[in-house]
Amino acid sequence: MISIRSKYGISVIFVAVLFLMTVTQGCNPSPTTAQVSGTVYDGAEPLKSDRQYTWTVVFVGPNGVQAGGPVGKDGTYSVADVPIGPVQIAIVGSVGGGMFAPGEKPQPPAAAQLAQAKRLERCKDPSKSGLTLTVASGKQQHDIRLTP
């Protein structure tokens, strides 16, 4: 008769099951990031990027992990790899960012764009912007409303 116990008295089957459980647990880890999409509003109007001035949405997790993405011409954004859990949000503006043909000179931002950027400067620091979200796993829709 063949014994299924090792010389230490532990069932070989038990060890095999424990090994398989350990291996398969590593194959399907819990997600640590999610995708967040939405529209950024400055008051009632979408915050629009263009070739002269671009906006970026940045999510910052409690451990400092960041994920960001551009705001489009229509004010929409989509950011992958946003840390799950509570995050702070920053909206960062920058001059330029558009693609230009060789030899084409970019136009400077309009006065209204520069005034808007100055007014929204407080939003570039996630700890001072007042913008927060608790991110859940999977895809999430979140519109960001900036108050004038």
Whether the predicted pLDDT of 147 surpasses 60: yes
Tell me whether residue 62 is in a domain: yes
Domain of residue 82, residue span: 33-146
Tell me whether residue 18 is in a domain: no
Mean of pLDDT over the chain: 82
Q: Is residue 64 helix, strand or coil?
A: coil
Q: Is the pTM of this model over 0.95?
A: no
Tell me whether residue 8 is in a domain: no
Over residues 46-55, the mean pLDDT reads 90
Tell me whether residue 9 is in a domain: no
Q: Is residue 24 helix, strand or coil?
A: helix
Domain count of the chain?
1
Tell me whether residue 74 is in a domain: yes
Token pair recorded at residue 68:
């960001």
The DSSP code for 99 is -
Tell me whether residue 28 is in a domain: no
